[in-house]
Amino acid sequence: MECDAGAGAGGGHLSIMGESPLELGGCRLFFLDGGSMQVRVPLARGLSLKLALRPVLVRAPWGTALLDCGPGEYDASSWRRYGVRAPLLPFPRQLERIGVRPEEVDLVFLSHLHFDHAGGLLRGGRLAFPRADHLLQEKEWHRARQRGGYGPLTGTLAGGRLRLLQGATEIVPGLEALPAPGHTEGHQVCRVGGSREEAWFLADLVPAARSLALGPDRFSDRDPDLALEHRRRTVTGMVARGALALFYHDPRQAWARLDWRIEGQAARAFAASREGAGIRRDGAAAGL
């Protein structure tokens, strides 16, 4: 998550149920409503932002994957602290609408183990997606185990189908995990490739379109400079490849294509387009 004044403050219930699926060519992405949360803006007393919680379901010839899974039942104190609101339609019902049963999910990709991304993997104290491999960077696993406070999550995962990744990993052809540390030590992002397009699930590396223009996030990221370095590197590569960005926390938009905009001497990345038309290629890619 990211704290930044001016975007999405207050307001009613966020819902992204109306968002159309993205077609990448033989691979479809469905945006799920994981509810919303409220985050206080540092140094601005009384001001808080409403953030989306937006897991993505991937349906591809190789199977079905869930990219992060919302806050779920896990950690009631975090729900209170962050003013979490449940989705309008319970998660299993959303999957049902897409035609997927929880036991049909083959892979659960976990960017990291914070409650707003991973809590939903538990339901009734058990794994919500009982036949899925749960993919996590080994570093994130060890961080969570050392820090404690993740008891039910790590305890249930340890007894289930946990697959620990060491660095960049092609999970299946068309689905790749890439380390992007900084928010947490073991944070990772995911590249999903279709025959026509590729999309990157950026989780808390770039939680919202606005984050593209920001410097180090000293409030949310454990190592803000490292996170910024990875943000720059990832976005530079994405612009070069014409990739789509998927925003987990953006209250306004689920995805965008990225591009550069020249501001003074610097080129800054921005969410250029939802359609791919008219994208400028004038960025010098000198940095963000």
Nearest C-alpha neighbor of 188 from the set 199, 197, 198, 200: 200
Residue with tokens 């990832």: 234
Q: Looking at 159-167, 198-206, 255-263, 271-279, which segment touches Zn ion (CB under 5 A)?
A: 198-206
Residue from 197, 198, 204, 217 binding Zn ion (CB under 5 A): 204
Q: Which residues pair with 188 in a beta bridge?
A: 179
118 binds Zn ion (CB under 5 A): no
Q: At its nearest, how many Å lie between Zn ion and the CB of residue 117?
A: 6
| 24 vs 39, beta carbon nearer Zn ion | 39
Contacts of residue 32, Cβ cutoff 8 Å, sequence gap at least 6? 16, 54, 55, 56, 57, 70, 87, 91, 94, 95
Q: Looking at 33-41, 113-121, 189-197, 223-231, which segment touches Zn ion (CB under 5 A)?
A: 113-121
Q: At its nearest, how many Å lie between Zn ion and the CB of residue 75?
A: 13
221 binds Zn ion (CB under 5 A): no
Residues 122-181 that bind Zn ion (CB under 5 A): none
Residue 188 contacts residue 137 (beta carbons within 8 Å): yes
Contacts of residue 239, Cβ cutoff 8 Å, sequence gap at least 6? 258, 259, 260, 269, 283, 285
227 binds Zn ion (CB under 5 A): no
CA–CA dist 247, 103 (Å, integer) = 26
Residue with tokens 């610097």: 266
Residue with nearest beta carbon to Zn ion: 1
238 binds Zn ion (CB under 5 A): no
Q: Looking at 23-31, 74-82, 161-169, 199-207, which segment touches Zn ion (CB under 5 A)?
A: 199-207
| 60 vs 110, beta carbon nearer Zn ion | 110
250 binds Zn ion (CB under 5 A): no
Q: At its nearest, how many Å lie between Zn ion and the CB of residue 111?
A: 8
Ramachandran region, residue 227 (left: φ > 0; alpha: ψ -120 to 50; beta: rest): alpha
User: Which residues would be at the binding site for Zn ion (CB under 5 A)?
Assistant: 1, 116, 204
